Amino acid sequence: MADRSKPSDGIVSAAPVPRHVAIIMDGNGRWAAERGLPRAAGHKAGVEAVRRTVKAAIELSIPCLTLYSFSSENWSRPKDEIDHLMGLMKRFIRGDLAELHQNNVKILVIGERTNVDHEMLALMDEACDLTRDNTRLTLTIAFNYGSRNEITRAAQRLAEDVAAGRLAPSEITANHFRFALDTGDLPDPDMLIRTSGERRLSNFLLWQSAYTELVFLDAYWPDFGRELLVEAISQYSARERRFGGLPRQSTA
């Protein structure tokens, strides 16, 4: 079987690189199960895939990368699995923060802060504060995140502005709403990738993905790397993004 994490030379040299790539990192458990390994081994391998993907995004000059690391629905998983995931996240921040900062990577974290332990919050805040002025890649981690919750919180912020007299209901626009979201300072994703063969958004960036190109890959997340990222970009670059308009050559 070919090594699907090796670089693929020249495939995207002439292809437009998306400004913002979002990824639903799915399939860690199934990857482990197919190898007779515990789910924890799949999550550990998934962290290595994160490292490969961040490196590839830097090499390919992708400005923004957003990773769905832990959803607000994931709290329903067994406690030992959640504890393992939290531990992996903490070790990733502690072990990789210095290198990410050295590589000029800016880290953002989106999602709710409730139910998250103080140590995790402190580590995330440290990562965001240290890298806030970096410009090479904006790496956004969606942690304890759910899009419906995000949209609800955005509506509440605008309602508070209306109640305080800072904004009239008739003045609220889609642009107001966009900047009330957790991702307000980011461009909408040009491409959203989901691994593992599943074909749904799973409550991820629902507002932001209105015109996003969706790419579904059969590979499990622990197998993801530069080659599969290039493959996804090749699919993206072959499409014509019309944003509700007509094809470029159409005169109808």
> Of residues 28, 74, 149, 203, which has the active-site annotation?
74
Q: Nearest Cα to 10, choosing from 234, 242, 222?
A: 234
Which element (helix H / strand E) includes 151? helix 147-163
141 beta partners: 67, 109
3-state secondary structure of 194: strand
> Of residues 3, 26, 161, 182, which has the active-site annotation?
26
Cα 201–Cα 64–Cα 117 angle in degrees, nearest 5? 70
Q: Nearest Cα to 6, choosing from 195, 233, 229, 232?
A: 229
Active site residue 74: yes
Q: Is 98 exposed, middle or buried (0-12, 13-18, 19+ CB in 10 A)?
A: exposed
Residue 212 contacts residue 189 (beta carbons within 8 Å): yes
Alpha-carbon distance of 72 to 114, in angstroms, equals: 10
Alpha-carbon distance of 64 to 58, in angstroms, equals: 9
Tokens encoding 86: 């939290």
Residue numbers annotated as active site: 26, 74
